[in-house]
Amino acid sequence: MTLRYISKRADSFEASGIRKVFDLAAKLSDPINLSIGQPDFDVPEAGRSAMIDAINSKHSGYTQTQGLPQLREAIQKQVDVKYGHSDRSVFISSGTSGALTLALLATIDAGDEVIFFEPYFVMYHALTCMVGGLPVPVSTYPDFSYDIARLADAITPRTKAIILNSPANPTGKVASRAEVKAIAELAAKRDILLISDEIYKSFCYCGDFVSPAEYNERTLVLDGFSKANGMPGWRVGFVHGQGELIEQMLKFQQYTFVCAPNVGQWGALAVIDVDMTEQIESYRQRRDLIYNEISDIYEINKPEGAFYMFPKVPQGYKSASEFVERGINEFSLLVIPGNVFSSVDTHFRISYSASKTTIERGIDALKKLAQVK
Ligand SMILES: Cc1ncc(COP(=O)(O)O)c(C=O)c1O
């Protein structure tokens, strides 16, 4: 049945394929779950206590649209120290996803093109469609590095924005300084908004994270506390960019999210300077464990960041979906097929945000799955 009042906009994008895997997971009694896109460590104690204090202190009202002043000012100070840009303002969003939604609402008109690298984080495609824009994925297969000539070729007079996500979901790829610089300079030269999704910036295992904002003062940076501090359900993100764009995004925030959750912002304020080195180191070890065990049987580009890897499905399978289906049916293994992040279905995403025991069970299942029947 098609309800008369469903919008064309609703029809312009599909429900996330990741949800389908989560639905399957709910039916399995003891799945080997390597599909989860959130950290498995706790919010630091300081954050949990601050949130409880905020609840007990009855911080239940709205905050200012731009966020709790103490949190906003603390982040603004860090951003000013790091970049020293004369025109770079911060506001607090309802998660990084909220920030991305506002960014596209404030910049994309019907028919405008948004470029992002493929495979991509699912929201880039869906949100671009939702605001009436045209998604323009630029392939990074087979090694997921950023081909600047390919990017330049994808630009048209309708290109409004380029989204860069490094470290990347789903590949774990971290753009090199040279790649970041080239993308930043190309966007500046062509007067295209560069949106840098830096949500995984603390998960870098090979050298320092590089932001394109170092090379392009107009870059809009999206960031947040979901992954870095283990609080995805608290819905606190932040944004920084040119004042005029920030003002426009805040206008949309007023009429949509209103503000980020009040008590979540108090929790975020308490963790802003907490050292997460130990947690990040544990993720590096998990990456090494799984990579060292399966890289001789699967074609994998060694991931340098985030908590994902994106191996190629072995020869003999028709598609990643077929591979994932067999993994579920025979081993209760949950990984995500590549067609969720891409127009091709040749790879699959492993999340190693899981316990050592789960990872070891996963390695065992993956070794068996590599032997095609
Ligand atoms: C690349 C990327 N950006 C943004 C988000 C959304 O994060 P948040 O929980 O802050 O909305 C995710 C979550 O998986 C992500 O992988």
> Under 8 Å CB-to-CB from 39, ≥6 apart: which residues?
227, 230, 232, 279, 307, 353
State both tokens at 343: 């127009």
Q: Which amino acid, 346?
A: T
Which pLDDT does position 216 carry in this prediction?
A: 98
Question: Is residue 121 lining ligand 1, measured as CB closer than 6 Å?
Answer: yes
Output 236 or 8, whichever has higher pLDDT.
236
CA–CA dist 50, 288 (Å, integer): 35
CA–CA dist 83, 242 (Å, integer): 13
Report the residue among 96, 166, 223, 234 best suited for mutation to probe ligand 1: largest number of ligand atoms under 8 A from its CB: 96
Same domain for 199 and 296, yes or no, is no
**In this model, does residue 78 exceed pLDDT 80?**
yes
> Which among 291, 105, 83, 107 has a CA at the least distance from the CA of 198?
83
| CB-based burial, 112-126: b 16+ in 10 Å, e otherwise | bbbbbbbbbbbbbbe
Which pLDDT does position 281 carry in this prediction?
A: 96
Which pLDDT does position 53 carry in this prediction?
A: 98
**In this model, does residue 230 exceed pLDDT 90?**
yes
Which pLDDT does position 15 carry in this prediction?
A: 82
Kindly report, residue by residue over 93-134, the tens digit of the pLDDT.
999 999 999 999 999 999 999 999 999 999 999 999 999 999
pLDDT category at 1 given cuts 50, 70, 90 is low
How far away, in angstroms, is 197 Cα from ligand 1 center?
8
State both tokens at 246: 């920030």
- Of ligand 1's listed atoms, the one at least distance from the Cα of 100 is 4
Does residue 338 belong to any structural domain of this protein?
yes
Which pLDDT does position 170 carry in this prediction?
A: 98
pLDDT category at 2 given cuts 50, 70, 90 is confident
Protein residue whose Cα sits closest to atom 7 of ligand 1: 96
How far away, in angstroms, is 5 Cα from ligand 1 center?
30
Question: Is residue 165 lining ligand 1, measured as CB closer than 6 Å?
Answer: yes
**In this model, does residue 373 exceed pLDDT 80?**
no
Question: Is residue 223 lining ligand 1, measured as CB closer than 6 Å?
Answer: no
Kindly report, residue by residue over 305-350, the tens digit of the pLDDT.
999 999 999 999 999 999 999 999 999 999 999 999 999 999 999 9
- Counting DSSP H helices and E strands in the chain, the numbers are 13, 12
Q: Which amino acid, 51?
A: M
Same domain for 148 and 225, yes or no, is yes
Of 271, 292, 316, the last residue of a domain is: 271
- The pLDDT mean for the chain works out to 95
> Which among 41, 114, 57 has a CA at the least distance from the CA of 307?
41
Same domain for 328 and 242, yes or no, is no
pLDDT category at 57 given cuts 50, 70, 90 is very high
State both tokens at 148: 């600047």
Tell me the sheet residues that pair with 305: 204
**In this model, does residue 145 exceed pLDDT 70?**
yes
Q: Of all helices (H) and strands (E), which one includes residue 88?
A: none
Does residue 65 belong to any structural domain of this protein?
yes
**In this model, does residue 233 exceed pLDDT 80?**
yes
99, burial (CB in 10 Å: exposed 0-12, middle 13-18, buried 19+): buried
- Of ligand 1's listed atoms, the one at least distance from the Cα of 225 is 10
| CB-based burial, 304-327: b 16+ in 10 Å, e otherwise | bbbbbbbbbbeeebebbbebbebb
- Residue 335 sits in a domain whose CATH number is 3.90.1150.10
Question: Is residue 237 lining ligand 1, measured as CB closer than 6 Å?
Answer: yes
pLDDT category at 352 given cuts 50, 70, 90 is very high
CA–CA dist 14, 280 (Å, integer): 33
Indicate if the alpha-carbon torsion angle 95, 99, 100, 104 is positive or negative: positive
Output 10 or 158, whichever has higher pLDDT.
158
Give SS3 for 327: helix
Domain count, the chain: 2
Same domain for 121 and 226, yes or no, is yes
Q: Which amino acid, 108?
A: I
- Residue 150 sits in a domain whose CATH number is 3.40.640.10
Of 218, 237, 271, the last residue of a domain is: 271
Same domain for 162 and 250, yes or no, is yes
Which pLDDT does position 342 carry in this prediction?
A: 96
pLDDT category at 372 given cuts 50, 70, 90 is confident
Q: What is the model's pTM?
A: 0.96
How far away, in angstroms, is 200 Cα from ligand 1 center?
9
Same domain for 168 and 69, yes or no, is yes
Does residue 51 belong to any structural domain of this protein?
no
The angle formed by the CA atoms of residues 289, 292 and 295, to the nearest 5 degrees, is 130
**In this model, does residue 304 exceed pLDDT 70?**
yes
Does residue 188 belong to any structural domain of this protein?
yes
The residue segments making up the domain with residue 299 are 8-43+276-370
Does residue 53 belong to any structural domain of this protein?
no
> Which among 248, 255, 232, 241 has a CA at the least distance from the CA of 212?
241
Same domain for 67 and 33, yes or no, is no
Tell me the sheet residues that pair with 348: 337
Which pLDDT does position 25 carry in this prediction?
A: 74
> Which among 114, 256, 296 has a CA at the least distance from the CA of 193?
114
Which pLDDT does position 21 carry in this prediction?
A: 77
State both tokens at 64: 């200012």
